[in-house]
Amino acid sequence: MTGIALLGAGIYATEEHLPAILASKFNLVAIYSRSQSSAESLAASLPESVRPNVALYYSSPAASGKSLDDLLARSDVAAVDIVLPIPHQPEIVEKALKAGKHVLSEKPVAADVEGAQKLIKWYHGLDGENKPLWGVAENFRYMESLKFAGDQLQELLSAREGAKLVTFRMERYGFVEAENKYYKTEWRKTPSHQGGFLLDGGVHFVAGLRYLLGAAGQELKQLVGYSGLLEERLIPVDTVQAVALTNEGKSGTVVISFGTEFKNGFEVEIVTTNGSVTWNPTYVKVAKRKGDGTGQETSTKEFPWSSGVKPEVAAFAQGIEEGKIADLQTPEQALKDLEVLQRMIESGAAGAALKTIGA
């Protein structure tokens, strides 16, 4: 089994990544956190059969043989799963890749497009023969419901000659309470990264929209947006609403808000000339033309909630075995998610200025 180290001991590392690693083909051999206490706390949640074989590393207090560099020097650590705050991720990704470790890093790929492009360019400049693999973890792309929705959309488009995309919408409304466990983490309360929760959580929803547009053979290319701060705690901005165009000139709407207390929910709807598909992580609704052409029929399939983290970690392990990162995990995919969100934020800050994606 491939030896892996988990870098990070926060909420998502504890609740999602650690169980996913334990359920995968990986062999967990080490945990790193910035503090000894957080590393020990995470280790305490390990099964008794695993705990004695997992070494702990930390930065504070400084201790001989316990640093991140010491961990990365271990020959039995072939891969690392990095689940650290957004501002710290890129430097740790680079450090791990330099050490020759395969890397799975949490989304977003970086705090901004410029930083992401710089890191990706540096990565592709590494020695090709010995270059480790790097994947970015976007768990929404591994939700069973999203794959099903994409398959249904492609069936609609292929079932009728000339069927094409008409429009699309993505809406995510919600409210981050003051007692929300994620809000209570200090780096989210006082974010140094753009967009605050819009960046941290928003890339998930953009990833879902892009996946379904991709199933229809299209990508987002331009947008104009408005942004605002509805809940003063959620600085610097908690809401963005945009009109977007695809590469084939089809228009739709994209709304993400973490500050709407009395409105909540999430859906992506893709409308074609032969029907529509509406996706939420726990259901998929399909409306399609009847076979005799006299009207439409609708159906709904429900799915149990699943974060998608376990299959994404499993896909990373498989990628290492095959020597190629999965298409759904490439840094370039994550960059596109990030760019859509950043251009929305920039457009809103500039009073609905037209922004081009991937220019």
pLDDT digits (tens, 9 = 90+) for 197-254: 899 899 999 999 999 999 999 999 999 999 999 999 999 999 999 999 999 999 999 9
Q: Which pLDDT does position 234 carry in this prediction?
A: 92
Number of separate domains in the chain: 2
Residue 333 in any domain: the answer is no
Q: Is residue 99 part of a domain?
A: yes
pLDDT at 321: 96
Strands 79-82 and 102-106: parallel
Question: What pLDDT, in 10s, does the model give residues 29-81?
Answer: 999 999 999 999 999 999 999 999 999 999 999 999 999 999 999 999 999 99
Same domain, 269 and 155: yes
Q: Are residues 53 and 16 in the same domain?
A: yes
Q: Where are the alpha helices (DSSP H) in the chain?
A: 11-12, 18-22, 36-44, 68-72, 89-98, 113-124, 144-159, 186-189, 197-215, 309-322, 331-349
Residues 33 and 166 in one domain: no
Assess whether 66 and 191 both reside in one domain. no
Is 324 domain-assigned? no
| pLDDT grade for 6, boundaries at 50, 70 and 90 | very high
Q: What pLDDT is recorded for position 162? A: 93
Q: Which amino acid is at 305?
A: W
Condensed to tens digits (0 to 9), the pLDDT of residues 239-269 reads 999 999 999 999 999 999 999 999 999 999 9
330 part of a folded domain: no
Kind of pairing, strands 265-272 and 165-173?
A: antiparallel
| Same domain flag for 254 and 112 | no
Residue 185 confidence (pLDDT) above 90: no
pTM of the model: 0.95
| Residue 132 and residue 177 share a domain | no
Domain of residue 117, residue span: 3-137+310-314
For the cut 80, the answer to whether the pLDDT of residue 291 exceeds it is: no
Residue 256, in any domain of the structure: yes
Both 210 and 343 in a single domain? yes
Enter the tokens of residue 26. Answer: 């990986």
> Is residue 89 located within the same domain as residue 211?
no
| pLDDT of 37 | 96
Q: Are residues 220 and 351 in the same domain?
A: yes
CATH of the domain at 104: 3.40.50.720
Task: Tell me the average pLDDT across 346-359.
Answer: 93
Assign residue 338 a region: left if phi > 0, alpha if psi is -120 to 50, beta otherwise?
alpha
From 71, 82, 68, select the one nearest 9 (Cα to Cα).
Answer: 82
Residue 14, C-beta contacts closer than 8 angstroms, at least 6 positions apart: 42, 45
Residue 194 DSSP SS3: coil
What would the pLDDT profile of 120-175 be if each residue is shown by its tens digit?
A: 999 999 987 789 999 999 999 999 999 999 999 999 999 999 999 999 999 999 99
User: Sorting pLDDT into bands at 50, 70 and 90, what band is 320?
Assistant: very high
In this predicted structure, the answer to whether residue 359 has a pLDDT above a threshold of 80 is: no
Q: How many CB atoms lie within 10 A of CB 169?
A: 16
Is position 302 within any domain?
Answer: yes
Is residue 220 domain-shared with residue 292, that is, in the same domain? yes
**Is residue 206 a part of any domain in this protein?**
yes
State the CB neighbour count (10 A cutoff) for residue 44: 8
Whether 200 and 273 share a structural domain: yes
